[in-house]
Amino acid sequence: MPNTPNYNMPIPASSHNIADEINVNLPAALAIIDTEMNSNREQINNLDALKVTPHLADLITDADGAHGLKVEEGTWSPTLNSNPTFTTQLGKYYKIGKKVTAYGKLVYSAKGTDPSAQLQITNLPFANANLTLYTAQILDILSPTILADTTSRLSGFMQYAVVYLKKISSVGTTSNVMYADINASGAITFAITYLTT
């Protein structure tokens, strides 16, 4: 005959009572939980003291700029020294705080009148912050059809609110760009970043 379970069998008595165990250990457990909660409350209160008070967002259109950082943009008329005859003089600038980035394009049909003059880009939109230091960086000079020596490339530096153009030979030597070094007609597109006062 198969073995069938007997569901009417009594459950044997435990050697200890679970209710007694809960009654003994529960107060100790609650005390530990309460201590932890108080500690967490103190930490949360300390975090509240570290909160930064938010401020109202500035608008870009505010007179002093967003967060005191004034943003300007406009046009300017770049030029070269020694009076060349220009067919195009275009310039655009962006000024954020004291940082100016100016873009320019110059196309001339006849070069200047002084062949011994060093070539300079002048009439920048803002004065240089420190007139005695080289505080500018020529970002890029594009499409320079200006140099008679096609193996050299153009570079430059800014001093006294003037960009002095330099030529870098194919072997890496640098020299000033003089009017005698440029074509009778040509074009230069450039960008410069510098700090103003």
pLDDT at res. 76: 94
Q: Do residue 50 and residue 96 come from a single domain?
A: no
Per-residue pLDDT of 136-171, as tens digits, reads: 565 567 767 888 888 888 888 887 778 888 888 889
Work out the end-to-end distance of the chain between its first and last CA atoms, rounded to an integer number of angstroms.
Answer: 107
- Report yes or no on 63 lying in a domain: no
Q: For residue 37, what are the domain limits?
A: 13-54
- SS3 state at 85: strand
Question: Is the model more confident about 41 or about 71?
Answer: 71
Structural tokens at position 131 = 């007139």
Q: Do residue 170 and residue 136 come from a single domain?
A: yes
Per-residue pLDDT of 68-101, as tens digits, reads: 678 899 999 999 988 899 999 999 999 988 889 9
Place of tokens 């890496």: 172
Q: Do residue 39 and residue 92 come from a single domain?
A: no
- Report yes or no on 66 lying in a domain: no
Domain count, the chain: 2
Q: Do residue 136 and residue 179 come from a single domain?
A: yes
Q: Do residue 172 and residue 128 come from a single domain?
A: yes
Do residues 138 and 157 make contact, with C-beta atoms less than 8 angstroms apart?
yes
- Report yes or no on 188 lying in a domain: yes
pLDDT at res. 25: 64
Q: What is the mean pLDDT of the chain?
A: 77
Do residues 101 and 136 make contact, with C-beta atoms less than 8 angstroms apart?
no
Question: CB under 8 Å to 39, separation ≥6 — which residues?
Answer: none
Task: Give the angle 153-155-158 at the CA atoms, nearest 5°.
Answer: 165
Q: Do residue 120 and residue 94 come from a single domain?
A: yes
Residue 182 belongs to a domain with what CATH number?
A: 2.60.40
- Report yes or no on 135 lying in a domain: yes
Q: Do residue 117 and residue 31 come from a single domain?
A: no
pTM over 0.85: no
Model confidence band, residue 43 (pLDDT cutoffs 50, 70, 90): low
Q: Do residue 98 and residue 148 come from a single domain?
A: yes
Do residues 168 and 152 make contact, with C-beta atoms less than 8 angstroms apart?
yes
Do residues 166 and 190 make contact, with C-beta atoms less than 8 angstroms apart?
no
